[in-house]
Structure 1
């Protein structure tokens, strides 16, 4: 539930040095890493979502309270899963760790007669235009060595219980950077942008060199008493919380192991796996919106980012948590009337519906096929079917097409996924009715071009959305006049044979961006609309093209230093793409299907529930990351033959149920393409065996 890190106020997480931007190179807000304190509940690399949390700032200080909000340089930073440390320019060593519902700060001051730990309860959001979050109401009470209260932020009651037990230290309240002598309560019934003045708590006392002070915070969305219970249940002090969290991370990150490859590639892989597991945030038994217990995932930002690659990864290596997430989505539908596209720690109907439609159906269909969890599938089906008629679904039901045109694809696909669940539950009539509308994906395409019809598109254009892995890829390729024509379109999209282009710089003007958009090119993994497009070649009998593009992306778009991600990580959406691509697997979400490709490692072991799925190779050759010398990068390796559990595998796909059952996939790699995977294509709705004639 809890995250914590140094806070500079910069985009996108509150840590770092960059201003907000969506096009071109980012601009620096300041020239070095700095922080004004340490905040809690950060987003994980999401884009322009307006809601970035960063609540309850903890600032260790030697200066007067008037200096609160100043930023100091960060030195000697150390970071690992569950732990962050840095030395502020004031000489204070700051260490932070978190548990499930707690945060503990360990602060080592220089010798000083009156050191301070200031807690700013009014902090929220980012220090950029339109980035601040202003609390609506607040109650704070000081009880001696402890303090508790609730700050209501966008309708959510974030409660806390804070303890600092240090001999000779006192606790005081403050308002508008002025101490309140003898005050034990602060109450604000209504706070507005124009009336907000900072407020919070201050602990102060003598500091001795080498003797740290610990500030312990319990959080809850159900009141200060539960926050106190959460703190006392979890916190045995800094070292105990850090050790417990580190052990949990070792367990989770140990569920995928790789061998071979370069050290840099292994480092990026481990980092990507870590990023893939940071979100969604679970706050079990903490929903402020309904009274019952159970999973509450307050930070799904958004399904559009995570449903293609991240949710299948969670289903594979943390299946219990994946099932909890789906149970939560169904509960949201019960309580709020729709399966959300996104869900934030906020009250209201802002659920990202502009991005896409009915994406939860994809994850639910996969879970049902895999036998994931113990969901009440008859009840789930009721909500899946009802949700298809909401928002854009109402127009789709009446007209068979809806704009933005990508929502037509979403809704047709969701009908297909829901039909598969209905079929599994022996509801033949419902499955038949849903399947009929699943065929309406054809209404989204222009037969004259083989591309989507002109429309508005969310963060992309019609080329970016035209190569999604639909449930009837055979029909989609036929609409494009067959394999050769479809491959030619894909080649143009990925820039085969095209001249190099100039990348946009800082603050590109509209004319410069228009030139780029007119290229109709692959997004380059800096965004989600076309992240699965490289695997579209599989359906046209060209897995070798997939190998080339994925190899180039893994090599040139990801690295170990600053700028090591090609775009916003979007809660782990892009990092989970990297994990699957490196393993030589790609999940086709909603279709019980994995596509196969040349992996980046010699051997990998995936703990799938209680079983192991092993990917091993012969002929593997390690490839560096982002070398300045193109000649130093060996060409891509291609799959020449495959065996699954000792038997020859002539197709470039496996059922997801086979992967989840565990087994051994052996891939023979070579420097030249072969006929492997070209004859029989992955299954499609109109060609379930992948054997249809090709134009």
Structure 2
């Protein structure tokens, strides 16, 4: 839960950025790479070497006045530890335990501010990074300097409010003074303050908090600050801190950081890479991607104020629309225990709130971006043997609820437009929805996403409950994507016909067609025109071109609908080569690997090497979009491992790993699965699989199932410089529903699993 880092002024969704922006505080909880507003960053602290002329009102209290540039080249960052030196010559080091942040501030012998003697001054502000404070209070113990506080804040991408609590203790120097500050002024000796509530006084937005001031530190000019955190109470925040880091001194940060590093090594050590000459750029990019994939969702078990439960509670799902594609599949591979706890946590949300979340942060309901995508997370986990302690009957109930019961506000959970979905087989543009309310846009993207949600429900109905009627029903509804396919729709770029015909298009309730330019909301036209807002387009964060490729459970039908394999490949090539594909948004990920369904796995390998390292690398600009809590990192890691998943199915597309070999130790079985390249070259001329063996036997399928990782084994890929016939035969392709029959039942839509 604790994630301590320096907070910059400006673009600070994750707290710190490498853009040279000044530092305005150090806070203790963050969400990484969120695409919405800045999140968390509650109760920042800030050190100053002293106040000019020993006047507490000459110190800086507001976030804008205390901003201090960093000294370039002083940042030190690794898993479990962060450090930076400010131009004030204060060195800040920090690490964490589960619910506690530990800071060590080293002050200069002579403060850099004129007329100032060394008398360290540390403030704690009642605020969060997005400045959503609505109510707050603080207490300072004048004998020990302990600061406790609380605040009522708002989430970054959802509705509601949450309370957060803090408990800060200081070690290494004798307390000299303490007090409260408001705006830019301070009052010595004041021990309590209740910030005005936003509901009663707009002044709730003014800066407020507390400060402590110390005599010269006893050892090496260093002061340690321990900050306990809780969402339950101030007392629990203090208890968390005392339990996790008892009696710290100036050297404690070393042992706490070492313990954090040990935990990270345990998480990362399930992967073994033999580089084979791969560059440091690729290695850093890979490990960074794995690391970032493990930052969220965050384990808040024991800190849930909304209900009492023996089940785990996870938070910071930003959002499952982003994370179902690669984050959760990667966690399933590398840390199945944590994925099991997350699934149990999702089901506990359903148990207590009546719907699975699609986005959730700070105990608040986040905005749905498309379908009910927790459905995909659950079924993906089920198919991959995530099972310990999971009530799969409850999961089925939750899946059916998403498919059949529209919530009053489908902006924050479930699906909207279910009347039309059931009667018309698509989500109409300008739909009449009498069951609930929500943002009436995204009719195309919601249609294709609902279709895939129903596909995974069909698979679960078949495999878990053996309900043939439900299987037929939801398998039939999974084909609804075709109801928005306009066979004669053309596409132009700058007045030039692309030569491709047939795209998804908006459709009204009466069955007549609307129009959205197929390149609208791509980098080629009005890139930001389809965001989550009432005036957004009929696709979400991407063009019709992109969504026309989205039928993950029905790819054989899609390829036939788009003119067959050769035409499909040409269309997919054009999508990537024209500049229309923005790989910095998650729905583009699968488009890199769809060539597998057309019998051209070699082209998937080409695309993987096109985007890595050009878009994913170890530079400051080496993440093409916001990381969305590790989505970009997980795409990068899985692609470099050579096993990208089709989430919601037991399917991994095989492409050559970016290293000579990679091994993964399974956390459930203890078995190790290894993928080894033969004829690997680090210049990547040999990126095409010529042949493969699985445990010594010829293997021609261009995809794997999860039992390879559960059972362990060796997949060897013999590489060459030219595309081969490996993985190209119809029987080598990943499973698909197949073509439409004359009806919609499973018997008429044969499945090739």
Q: TM-score, normalised by structure 2?
A: 0.81
Distance (Å, rounded) in 1 between the aligned partners of 2:624 and 2:397: 40
Query: Are residues 1:282 and 2:282 paired?
Result: no
Distance (Å, rounded) in 2 between the aligned partners of 1:81 and 1:457: 38
Query: Are residues 1:645 and 2:695 paired?
Result: yes
Indicate the residue corresponding to 1:139 in structure 2.
Answer: 137
Indicate the residue corresponding to 1:52 in structure 2.
Answer: 39
Indicate the residue corresponding to 1:421 in structure 2.
Answer: 460
Residues 392 and 407 of structure 1 are in contact (CA less than 8 Å); yes or no, is this contact kept in structure 2? no
Indicate the residue corresponding to 1:617 in structure 2.
Answer: 677
Indicate the residue corresponding to 1:396 in structure 2.
Answer: 421
Q: Could you tell which deviates more after superposition, 677-686 or 440-449?
A: 440-449
CA spacing shift, 1:365–1:393, aligned 2, 3 Å = farther
Indicate the residue corresponding to 1:7 in structure 2.
Answer: 7
Residues 102 and 226 of structure 2 are in contact (CA less than 8 Å); yes or no, is this contact kept in structure 1? yes
Query: Are residues 1:533 and 2:591 paired?
Result: yes
Distance (Å, rounded) in 2 between the aligned partners of 1:109 and 1:520: 51
Which runs of 5 or more residues in structure 1 are unaligned? 19-27, 126-131, 496-518, 624-633
Distance (Å, rounded) in 2 between the aligned partners of 1:649 and 1:450: 36
Residues 305 and 573 of structure 1 are in contact (CA less than 8 Å); yes or no, is this contact kept in structure 2? yes
Question: What is the CA-CA distance between 1:561 and the residue it aligns to?
Answer: 2.1
Indicate the residue corresponding to 1:684 in structure 2.
Answer: 736
Question: What is the CA-CA distance between 1:243 and the residue it aligns to?
Answer: 1.7
Question: What secondary structure, in the 3-state scheme, does the structure 2 residue paired with 1:6 have?
Answer: strand
Distance (Å, rounded) in 2 between the aligned partners of 1:39 and 1:568: 21
Distance (Å, rounded) in 2 between the aligned partners of 1:293 and 1:218: 23
Question: What is the CA-CA distance between 1:597 and the residue it aligns to?
Answer: 0.7
Question: What is the CA-CA distance between 1:179 and the residue it aligns to?
Answer: 2.9
Distance (Å, rounded) in 1 between the aligned partners of 2:353 and 2:119: 47
Distance (Å, rounded) in 2 between the aligned partners of 1:201 and 1:135: 16
Distance (Å, rounded) in 1 between the aligned partners of 2:9 and 2:310: 34
| Candidates 185, 189, 214, aligned match of 1:178 | 185
**Runs of 4+ residues deviating >6 angstroms:** none
Map residues 506-517 of structure 1 onto 2, 5 A cutoff.
none
Indicate the residue corresponding to 2:522 in structure 1.
Answer: none
Distance (Å, rounded) in 1 between the aligned partners of 2:610 and 2:348: 42
Distance (Å, rounded) in 2 between the aligned partners of 1:445 and 1:570: 30
Question: What secondary structure, in the 3-state scheme, does the structure 2 residue paired with 1:110 have?
Answer: coil
Distance (Å, rounded) in 2 between the aligned partners of 1:425 and 1:232: 48
CA spacing shift, 1:171–1:308, aligned 2, 3 Å = farther
Question: What secondary structure, in the 3-state scheme, does the structure 1 residue paired with 2:470 have?
Answer: helix
Question: What is the CA-CA distance between 1:83 and the residue it aligns to?
Answer: 0.5
Question: What is the CA-CA distance between 1:438 and the residue it aligns to?
Answer: 1.9
Distance (Å, rounded) in 2 between the aligned partners of 1:412 and 1:469: 8
Question: What secondary structure, in the 3-state scheme, does the structure 1 residue paired with 2:443 have?
Answer: coil
Query: Are residues 1:521 and 2:580 paired?
Result: yes
Give the superposed CA RMSD: 2.2
Question: What is the CA-CA distance between 1:117 and the residue it aligns to?
Answer: 4.1
Residues 86 and 94 of structure 1 are in contact (CA less than 8 Å); yes or no, is this contact kept in structure 2? yes
Indicate the residue corresponding to 1:67 in structure 2.
Answer: 60
| Candidates 527, 537, 542, aligned match of 1:460 | 542
Distance (Å, rounded) in 1 between the aligned partners of 2:314 and 2:298: 5
Distance (Å, rounded) in 2 between the aligned partners of 1:662 and 1:276: 23
Distance (Å, rounded) in 2 between the aligned partners of 1:294 and 1:114: 50
Distance (Å, rounded) in 2 between the aligned partners of 1:446 and 1:613: 44
Question: What is the CA-CA distance between 1:570 and the residue it aligns to?
Answer: 1.3
Question: What is the CA-CA distance between 1:604 and the residue it aligns to?
Answer: 0.5
Q: In the comparison of the two structures, how many residue pairs are matched?
A: 634
Which runs of 5 or more residues in structure 2 are unaligned? 52-56, 111-116, 155-160, 407-414, 428-441, 489-500, 507-515, 517-537, 740-745
Q: Could you tell which deviates more after superposition, 154-163 or 575-584?
A: 154-163
Provide Cα deviations, 1:282-307, integer angstroms capped at 9, x if missing partner.
11111122232432222111112111
Query: Are residues 1:411 and 2:450 paired?
Result: yes
Residues 234 and 241 of structure 1 are in contact (CA less than 8 Å); yes or no, is this contact kept in structure 2? no
Q: Could you tell which deviates more after superposition, 151-160 or 287-296?
A: 287-296
Question: What is the CA-CA distance between 1:486 and the residue it aligns to?
Answer: 0.9
Indicate the residue corresponding to 2:437 in structure 1.
Answer: none
Question: What is the CA-CA distance between 1:40 and the residue it aligns to?
Answer: 2.5
Provide Cα deviations, 1:92-133, integer angstroms capped at 9, x if missing partner.
1110111111001101112365533433333322xxxxxx32
Q: TM-score, normalised by structure 1?
A: 0.87
Provide Cα deviations, 1:612-661, integer angstroms capped at 9, x if missing partner.
111111110113xxxxxxxxxx5451011111111111110111233333
Indicate the residue corresponding to 1:160 in structure 2.
Answer: 166
Indicate the residue corresponding to 1:37 in structure 2.
Answer: 25
Residues 196 and 203 of structure 2 are in contact (CA less than 8 Å); yes or no, is this contact kept in structure 1? no
Query: Are residues 1:297 and 2:304 paired?
Result: no
Residues 134 and 205 of structure 2 are in contact (CA less than 8 Å); yes or no, is this contact kept in structure 1? no
Indicate the residue corresponding to 1:362 in structure 2.
Answer: 376
Query: Are residues 1:661 and 2:711 paired?
Result: yes
Question: What is the CA-CA distance between 1:17 and the residue it aligns to?
Answer: 6.0
Question: What secondary structure, in the 3-state scheme, does the structure 1 residue paired with 2:288 have?
Answer: helix
Indicate the residue corresponding to 1:506 in structure 2.
Answer: none
| Candidates 98, 104, 107, aligned match of 1:106 | 104
Indicate the residue corresponding to 1:674 in structure 2.
Answer: 724
Indicate the residue corresponding to 2:211 in structure 1.
Answer: 202
Question: What is the CA-CA distance between 1:15 and the residue it aligns to?
Answer: 4.2
Map residues 533-682 of structure 1 onto 2, 5 A cutoff.
533-609=591-667, 610-623=670-683, 634-635=684-685, 637-679=687-729, 680-682=732-734
| Candidates 320, 345, 352, aligned match of 1:335 | 352
